[in-house]
Structure 1
Amino acid sequence: MGVLTGRTALVTGASRGIGRGIAERLARDGARVAVHYGRNETAAKETVAAIEAAGGAAFTIGVELGLPGDVEALWAEFDRHADGLDILVNNAGIGNTRPIDEITEQEFDRVFAVNVKAPFFIVRHGMARLRDGGRVINVSSGLARTAVMPDNMAYAMTKGALDVFSRDLSKVLGPRAITVNSVAPGIIDTDNTAGLLYGTEGGWAQAAAISALGRVGETADVADVVAFLASGGARWVTGSWVDATGGSLT
């Protein structure tokens, strides 16, 4: 039996990239996983199929975040499949924004609606469903602590806000033995970073050189950290910002 057997997890933005890696890892540890997606139903079903092929259990939830009624719709769909939640991973987000001299107010509002407002209200409406002793894990970014990519400023700002949310929420949910932490990836090989890694000459080597470990991160590198925080072994870790950048901030 896995360390998360009997528990239910919800991972937002789990159809691809880091979210998919997290969903598959939690399922491998025994959790039944709600695989949330915004638009790509096919990819979400592929994630579920991969989980089931490995002997796990999962189901999809399709709701586009950042729109009116999004959180209510997400929880209504979740309630059709489960009667409570043990692990919430707020991973869904817009990963890139244009420089300050190009971004529009509409784009700015959109990234904050998806990356900050949605996680806040997912928790706000999900607290009654979250069982005592549960886990909330917010996927942040190393860019919340470094100005290495200033053209991605608005995105980095959302992750800074998410970190404050994690810190303060840990005090709110602590009396129920629910831990809350942020996990901050660095550059991870996903379709979201394909332009950086594969679209420019020497992009991969430059990205690898940023890490103290000399390589580009993989989704499993982040998923393993999330899995630890979701486990009983992390029961005394809360309100923390966990650096999962491979030493990119050193």
Structure 2
Amino acid sequence: MEKLKNKVALITGASKGIGAGIAKEFALQGVRVVLNYNQDSIGANETVKEIENHGGEAIALQGDISKADEVERLFLETQNVFGRLDILVNNAGVFPPNSLGSFSEIDFYRTINTNILGNILCTKESLKYFSALGGSIINLTSVQSKNPIPEMAVYASTKGAIEVLTMAYAKELAAKNIRVNALAPGAVETEGTHTRGWFKSDFHKQIERMTPLGRMGQPADIGKVAAFLASDDALWITGERITASGGLH
């Protein structure tokens, strides 16, 4: 519980779902957490309140990570509040599920700009704030990068791109003692799965049958793996794709 105490983490897309799960686990381990959100201020502030109610320290900061000026402001505000940066979790992402025939140019650019460009902009900006001691960058990807499901082709391709970026970042930033790893969840129960009608559906039952551990994951499951990757227990791990999927591939 003390291994991450007093470190500062910026988590993008942390108002709900996996991002919020990571934020809560980090806070339990003593991390001071910045929850970035784009539109869902209510969700972000509710997560901050939950963290504070359990004795943690967190703030919510709005910012569209696909826009360089907003990314610059996000990191500057983090520095102004907490005075340091130790961990960056590139979690924010969008996944409009559409068949190839109905996928629009607008859908394409929104997905690419958030999932890939946003990752690049945040990683680039973080380099201004990590100390000489280095830090940890965790990029959220997906098992779909290697085994995409129908109607998720563009989303899955962005996750594959992020895994390539992870390997490239790890080589480039090793000299700065910055570790970079990809964390690839399997099927996780989030607000998104409920909104899309996947929870308790035939698709849900199929996923449970395909998952050796027999259930969908929870955001807390991913939070625990992220906390390990951010900790000194993972000092010899960089450039890797860590799968947390209950055995689903």
TM-score (norm 2): 0.94
Q: What CA distance in whole angstroms lies between the structure 1 residues aligned with 2:99 and 2:76?
A: 37
Q: What CA distance in whole angstroms lies between the structure 2 residues aligned with 1:29 and 1:220?
A: 13
**Aligned twin of 1:215:** 215
Could you report, residue by residue, the CA deviation over 1:38-74 in whole angstroms, capped at 9, with x for unpaired residues?
A: 1111111111111111111111111123246331232
**Aligned twin of 2:231:** 231
- 1:82-93 to structure 2, matched below 5 A, reads 82-93=82-93
Q: What CA distance in whole angstroms lies between the structure 1 residues aligned with 2:203 and 2:98?
A: 19
Q: What CA distance in whole angstroms lies between the structure 2 residues aligned with 1:123 and 1:174?
A: 14
Letter matched to residue 99 of structure 2 = P
Moved over 3 A (4+): none
**Aligned twin of 2:43:** 43
Deviation at 1:196, TM superposition (A): 4.7
TM-score (norm 1): 0.94
CA distance 1:68–1:233, shift in 2 (3 Å): closer
Q: What CA distance in whole angstroms lies between the structure 2 residues aligned with 1:19 and 1:246?
A: 19
Is the 2:198–2:204 contact (alpha carbons within 8 Å) kept by the matching residues of 1?
Answer: yes
Q: What CA distance in whole angstroms lies between the structure 1 residues aligned with 2:96 and 2:169?
A: 26
SS state of the match for residue 9, structure 2?
strand
Q: What CA distance in whole angstroms lies between the structure 2 residues aligned with 1:44 and 1:19?
A: 10
Deviation at 1:10, TM superposition (A): 0.5
- 1:1-250 to structure 2, matched below 5 A, reads 2-67=2-67, 69-131=69-131, 132-147=133-148, 149-194=149-194, 195-198=196-199, 200=201, 202-249=202-249
Q: What CA distance in whole angstroms lies between the structure 1 residues aligned with 2:227 and 2:55?
A: 18
Letter matched to residue 117 of structure 1 = L
Aligned length: 247
Deviation at 1:199, TM superposition (A): 6.7
Deviation at 1:6, TM superposition (A): 1.9
Q: What CA distance in whole angstroms lies between the structure 2 residues aligned with 1:77 and 1:143?
A: 34
- 121-130 or 189-198, which moves further after superposition? 189-198
Unpaired segments ≥5 residues, structure 1:
none
Deviation at 1:123, TM superposition (A): 1.0
